[in-house]
Amino acid sequence: MADKRRALLIVEDDPALQKQMRWAFDEYETVLASDRESAIAQLRRVEPAVVTMDLGLPPAPDDVTEGFALLGEMLQLQPGTKVIVLTGQHDRDNAVRAVGMGAYDFFAKPFEPELLALTIDRAFRLHDLQQENALLQLQQGSPLDGFLTRDPAMLKLCRTIEKVSNANVTSMLLGESGTGKEVLARGLHNLSSRSGERFVAINCAAIPENLLESELFGYEKGAFTGAVKQTLGKIEVAHRGTLFLDEIGDLPMPLQSKLLRFLQERVIERIGGRDEIPVDVRIVCATHQDLKALIREGRFREDLYYRLAEIVVDIPPLRDREGDASLIAHALVKRFASDNGRASMQLGDDAVAAIEAHPWPGNVRELENCIKRAVIMSDGSRIGADDLGFDSVDEDLTTLNLRQVRDEAERKAVVRVLARVNGNVAKAAEVLGISRPTLYDLMNRFGLKKES
């Protein structure tokens, strides 16, 4: 049995057929429209999951031009809506064209109400399934292990990582400290054909210059005082796998030359050794520094930069990732609470508001430390803004009302388009994908006057 609260939009100009369809599909909340303008208005008002529409609409029911125009507008405004097209008995070509544009299905008039009801029910089920699937993908965030995001720019970045994961190229990850460069590097390795081999990471800024060469290239027994046995370097240890060079901008100039030779020849020589050792390894590097500025200052080799930067990925800071701070915070609370035997802990509304308001200069690393401290130090099961070390934020919840957000977005779009077309209402309606009467209604609602 269909849900009585589900809206079904019926676009039909024949009053008798309107009445018949309303009676036949009374298990739904049927919403009627008789022409293109009223159909768009109802679509925007009720946002139905399923629409049935006759291609032959006023002012010329025998001409399907208006029907196809309406179909295109509806699919543009609500791509997820399932549109079932009703056509003439021998109008298969237009029906196929409608399906090609994105219509869910078609029926020829006259139709059997029971058969159309089955198609409508399937359309609702498919819509619900697609919505549920989209929600699951959103909850799962990125397919990259350990990387949570809902931000469109970050999701696009994750798709980039997926695309280059199996390409035999050197990748450079750029971003502020704490943005997740190593997590993305590991994800790139895990998605690649080298995932069964080792992922070896080395921080070029954390090791003294006089030790870094031996860490990277290894050494032979007796190469220097204390070299009591042959030791493989990180590059050789990562053979057939991935080598992650973090903070590559801090690599000393002499080692830059040696790394460049390795990238060109793909062979290394251990310190104190004479043999050239071939190594098959993928290089991923990262830095928070501006390497092009370092090149201008003579502190980084330009030829090495272009060897390392075959693929460059810019990671935005947490403050620029819409909704990610609170998303990651909830996940961190769950993780740290479980680790510390406090599985019932959760963030209070004031804590979430404070998290969203904070700029997070230390990015995810700062957020992680903040949440970990709050989970350990909080007295109860609810983490408040004070537990995070923040003042409460006076959040205006009216700004989160979807209708107000939608109205404001519509107002901005109307103002912008009217300015672009110099006040031409007909042209503005065409650009916005709505009818002129609908645009006039919006202008009146927003207090926008037509320029004389």
Beta bridge partner(s), residue 311: 171
Secondary structure element (H or E) that encloses residue 120, with its range: helix 113-140
**Tens-digit pLDDT profile for residues 350-382:** 888 899 889 999 999 999 999 999 999 988 888
Q: Could you tell me which of 208, 222, 291, 289 has the C-alpha nearest to residue 255?
A: 208
Asked whether the predicted pLDDT for residue 83 surpasses 60, the reply is yes
Residue found under tokens 């080792």: 198
Q: Which residue type occupies 52?
A: T
Residue 173, pLDDT score = 96
Burial of 430 (0-12, 13-18, 19+ CB in 10 A): middle
> Dihedrals φ, ψ of 47, to 5°?
50, 60
Q: How confident is the model at residue 281 (pLDDT cuts 50, 70, 90)?
A: very high
Q: Could you tell me which of 134, 135, 98, 157 has the C-alpha nearest to residue 321?
A: 157
CA–CA separation, 235 and 275 (whole Å): 15
Lookup: tokens for 179:
């943005």
Interval 284-313 mean pLDDT: 95
Angle between helices 65-77 and 36-46 (to 10 degrees): 20
> Mean pLDDT score of the chain, rounded to an integer?
87
Our measurement of the distance from residue 38's CA atom to the centroid of its chain's CA atoms, rounded to an integer in Å, reads 34
Residue found under tokens 């999701």: 155
Q: Which residue type occupies 295?
A: I
Q: Choose from 148-152, 316-320, 351-355 the range with maximum mean pLDDT.
A: 316-320
Burial of 198 (0-12, 13-18, 19+ CB in 10 A): middle
Furthest C-alpha separation in the chain: 99
Q: Which residue type occupies 117?
A: A
Lookup: tokens for 51:
């629409």
Lookup: tokens for 239:
């053979």
Our measurement of the distance from residue 447's CA atom to the centroid of its chain's CA atoms, rounded to an integer in Å, reads 35
3-state secondary structure of 208: coil
Residue 132, pLDDT score = 75
Interval 246-269 mean pLDDT: 95
Domains, the chain: 7-137 (3.40.50.2300), 152-316 (3.40.50.300), 322-383 (1.10.8.60), 399-446 (1.10.10)
Pairing mode of beta strands 267-268, 277-278: antiparallel
CA–CA separation, 428 and 416 (whole Å): 9
